[in-house]
Chain A
Amino acid sequence: MNAIMLSRRKALCAGGALVISFATAGCSSSQTAAATGIGGDTKPKLRPDQLDSWIAVRKDGSVIGYFGKVDVGLGIQVAIAQIIADELDVKFSDVSVVMGDTATTVNQGGASGSTGLERGGVSVRNAAAQARTSLLMLAADKFGTTPDKLTVDNGVVTVAGNTGQSVSYGELIGGRYFDVTLDWNKKIGNELLVQGTAKPKDHADYKIVGKSVPRADIANKLFGAEVFNTDMRVPGMLHGRMVRPTVAGASVVKIHPESIASLPDVQIVHQGNLVGVVAPKEWTAVKAARMLKVDWSSPPPAFPHQADLYKAMQAAKPVGKGGPKAKGDPKAVMAASAKTIDATYLWPFQSHASMGPACTIVDVQPDHVTVWTGDQKPHYVRDGVAALLNMKPEQVHAIWLRGPGSYGRNDGGDSAMDAAVLSKAVGKPVRLQYMRADGTAWNPKGPASVHKVSAGIDANNNVVAYHYHSTAFSREDIASHPDDPTQSLAGQFMGMPVVSKAVFDVPGETYDFGAEHLNWDVVPALLDRASPLRTSHLRDPLGPQINFASECFMDELAYATNMDPVAFRVKYLNDKRGVAAIEAAAKAANWQPRTPKTGKPQGAVLKGRGIAFARRKDTRVAVIVDVEVDRHTGRVWPRHWFVAHDCGLVVNPDALKLVIEGNILHATSRALLEEVKFNPHMVTSVDWLSYPILDIKDAPETINITLLNHPDDMPRGAGEPSSRPVASAIANAVFDATGVRFRQAPLTKDRVKAALI
């Protein structure tokens, strides 16, 4: 394998014709291996098609992987390091991973859609494979042999059968650069793909991939040694806080600076309807934001009464339609069916409500901007800040530091834009940390939705037609990337044009009922500008709500056709791996065929068991849950979970199990408790009392996880997929316990209690 691609510069150097003019560009090294053309003293410009944008080898032989995604708390850097270590044949402990720094990593889309390994890891693997091949070529040149005669162990290359002839990676290239070009599909973000001519290893040769390597950052955090973005301090930095309208849609009428005259050195930043304060002391900024008197206009109510939300949505004229996943003529089949059933399911607005409200430090200099961000998409933060300030992306350096778990487009992107406005206005670096209400009430929300589902059943109790329709707010009323100021609170408060996309989705599971029609309508946002109810991506965007309707309806269909819910799914699901997941969960739970409860439930605590299945792209998850329902308090306690999870090749089993646990817990919180509250004027869920989440007393007792490993497949998305079937399984189990169908999420104590009285 000698067909390595050379960069143009290297090719020219090798040819000799332009050596002088390129000498300062880094191909003059006497150490450069003439025969291979690999190696240089200057790092090539950061581009996806440069191997040096992905892998570096230090003089001591340690390896740096440059990853253009980031860790949102699930430990993906460990899996990435495992992949690199395996491909390069170095020790895991010799690999470190740099994430999300726009000066040293390419835009791989940040944390997005559980694509960390499925997309991001592929390019890393290809680059690491190419690096190994390049190193072997250097070694072969050194020993006057060919790469196929070489072996590598722990970063030391040895001529096969001659242990005397060996050289370490550090000696071969340490501290210098590969200067090797990769094939790049010319895309950025999640779709970015690079590959060299080297073929990555076969799964049978993995030694570190597949092992449960622990995370180093856990210990660092436990000793207080890990730096979060909130911990960044920049010399001369001031503290900022924002002042939001008290009524959604209100405009600034008048600001009263005298209201904060007692506070020292506070600057008020006011542009359009964006209002913020900046002060040298953080507590002063907090107080100033609270005390600053602003007269806001009194716009007409932006929102319906909460109780009327779903009615209002169904009465609204759609701004977008889509989906249609269609087969046959379900309408006609249904009309001719022996019987039909239908049901309507409701899902509320939900908040990211990250543990820490977003924090960004921005230092706007005349020709250069530095951003310290904890956002999950730092490259898009760079692009957004650049656009906001009318600068080029190259003039903005975004440095990613660990932030609180973000679960999608939380308040991180908005805080970067706000901080940029503040820093530019005061001419100093500004650390803006949002307050709790900014993170709970003002962050983009997961969209509310109404799902109408119906089916036709023939005389032999076969389901023969299926119809699924969602009426919903868009998943991208605000874009999922924070790269466009018009999609930020700052931009919208300052009067930038409003651009919104109408996007929703249909169920991802592939049941085959013959005739089907799955589609959606997106209705307009309740308030088109700077709305605290603007919608965007929240963990497994749309997954839990769409699945809540479809998988609860599968349960309803099973009982309507006198079938057990597991047997029903196995019968109709046209997906071998999906069926395998369902059967694995059923086996783990020792599932016994179930029939619907009859009669009024007796006893204080009612017990039940439910199943739900989810497919998210190429990942399948089946969950079975045992719940206990307290008939008097309405408390639903999902006590035991059985999860079967197929995400292709498992890179790190223990870490994956933890990630699944976390998603089960987060999704349980959403299923049982989370509903953004609002009145006609404002969102009223502003903190942990008004937006409660799962308490540890309600955490399950056990979560049994079966990993269905497919080493012959690539790693598929993990994490979000296990959020998807949780609400459905709980509602199905509650039906099993009580005989009552709950078709509105969340299944709060009040709702359950009211239905059981």
Chain B
Amino acid sequence: MGKHVTLNVDGQSHELDLADPTTPLLYLLRDELGLNNPHFGCGLSQCGACTVHVNGTPMRSCVLPAAAADGATITTLAGIGTAEHPHPVQQAFIDEQAFFCGYCMNGWVMTAVALVKEKPRATDAEIREAFSGLKCRCGSHMSIIRAVKRLTEAA
């Protein structure tokens, strides 16, 4: 059975008819709304490449049925800041030249945005704890930690 959903994505409201209500939010964001991120990494909620904020909380869009997000406010990587007005997390990652291929970036950045909001002075252990479980295959971990510390150590 089809389902009508309303989503606010990066400040824009969308009304969508879902032919298949089991469709994960990821496919709706990418294929129906044409967003280039988040990314499909595993489809199993194991890596974080598909992470978006749903009502302010980082969630894995690859396993979240779009129907369950009806009425939600979604923020993607592209919605947290712009080149002209970067989010401090984006600026910190640029300053550290963090990431290699960047395919996994959504998980780390969206988690970092939530982390620095919740714990602006997070310690090294808290940073590692917050990120634990996210995957980066290229080994960007050191630059990711440095980028977050730019913010937490300045706070």
Interface residues of A (CB under 8 A from B): 72-75, 214-215, 217-219, 221-228, 230-231, 233, 264, 281-284, 286-287, 353-357, 402-405, 407, 433, 435-436, 654-655, 658-659, 661-666, 668-669, 687-689, 693-697, 699-701, 703
Contacts and interface: CB of A to CB of B under 8 A. Distances in A.
14 contacts: A73-B99, A73-B100, A221-B102, A222-B94, A224-B77, A355-B136, A356-B40, A662-B138, A666-B137, A669-B139, A693-B135, A696-B131, A696-B136, A696-B141
A218 B83 CA distance: 12
A403 B31 CA distance: 18
A287 B22 CA distance: 10
Of residues B43, B77, B132, B133, which shows the largest number of chain A Cβ atoms within 10 Å of its Cβ? B43
B36 A688 contact: no
A110 to B, nearest CB: 15
B138 A666 contact: yes
Interface residues of B, number: 59
Contacts of B105: 221-222
B101 A403 contact: yes
Given A222-B109, A224-B77, A661-B139, A687 B134 contact: no
Contact of A436 (B43, B132, B142, B143): B43
Interface string B133-155: 11111111111110000000000
Of residues B35, B41, B142, B145, which shows the largest number of chain A Cβ atoms within 10 Å of its Cβ? B142
Contacts of B134: 696
Given A226-B102, A658-B97, A283 B20 contact: yes
B43 A435 contact: yes
Given A222-B94, A697-B129, A405 B44 contact: no
Contacts of A226: 36, 102
A353 B47 CA distance: 12
Contacts, number: 176
Contacts of B109: 222
Nearest to A701: B124
Nearest to B77: A224
Contacts of B31: 281-282
Given A281-B20, A284-B20, A355-B41, A74 B46 contact: no
B4 to A, nearest CB: 17
A284 B24 CA distance: 11
B42 interface: yes
A719 to B, nearest CB: 10
B139 A696 contact: no
B41 A356 contact: yes
B23 interface: yes
Interface string B4-19: 0000000000000001
B90 A661 contact: no
Contacts of B43: 286, 435-436
A654 B97 CA distance: 9
A69 to B, nearest CB: 15
B37 interface: yes
Contacts of A661: 139, 142-143
B104 interface: yes
Given A219-B94, A695-B132, A696-B132, A356 B39 contact: yes
B49 interface: yes
Contacts of B37: 224
Interface string B79-99: 001110010001001100111
A700 B142 contact: yes
A660 B27 CA distance: 35
A688 B39 contact: no
A449 B129 CA distance: 36
B93 A218 contact: yes
Contacts of B104: 355, 404
B68 to A, nearest CB: 14
Contact of A665 (B22, B77, B124, B142): B142
A287 B41 CA distance: 17
Contact of B47 (A283, A655, A688): A688
B51 interface: no
Contacts of A214: 94, 97
A354 B137 contact: yes
B98 A223 contact: no
Given A73-B102, A228-B36, A662 B139 contact: yes
B139 A697 contact: no
B135 A355 contact: yes
Contacts of A666: 137-139
A264 B20 CA distance: 10
B39 A73 contact: no
Contact of A223 (B41, B47, B82, B145): B82
A703 B142 CA distance: 8
A688 B42 contact: yes
A436 B39 CA distance: 13
A585 B45 CA distance: 40
A561 to B, nearest CB: 35
Given A222-B102, A222-B109, A668-B139, 5 more contacts: A222-B77, A281-B20, A661-B143, A665-B141, A689-B46
Contacts of A215: 97
A405 B141 contact: no
Contact of B44 (A227, A287, A353, A436): A436
B63 to A, nearest CB: 12
B143 A658 contact: yes
A191 B31 CA distance: 41
Contacts of B36: 224, 226-228, 231
B76 interface: yes
A665 B139 contact: yes
For the complex of A and B, list the 8 residue pairs with the smallest distance between their C-beta atoms, beginning with the closest.
A665-B139, A73-B101, A224-B78, A73-B100, A404-B103, A699-B141, A405-B101, A221-B102
B128 interface: yes
Contacts of A701: 124
A233 B139 contact: no
Of residues B47, B124, B132, B137, which shows the largest number of chain A Cβ atoms within 10 Å of its Cβ? B137
Nearest to B127: A696
Of residues A225, A355, A659, which shows the largest number of chain B Cβ atoms within 10 Å of its Cβ? A355
Contacts of B82: 223
A571 to B, nearest CB: 33
Nearest to A433: B40
Nearest to B100: A73
B94 A687 contact: no
A72 B102 CA distance: 10
B137 A404 contact: yes
Contacts of A219: 83, 90, 94
A390 B87 CA distance: 51
Contacts of A654: 97
Contacts of B19: 264, 281
Nearest to A435: B43
Given A282-B27, A661-B143, A353 B137 contact: yes
A564 to B, nearest CB: 29
Given A73-B100, A688-B47, A223 B27 contact: no
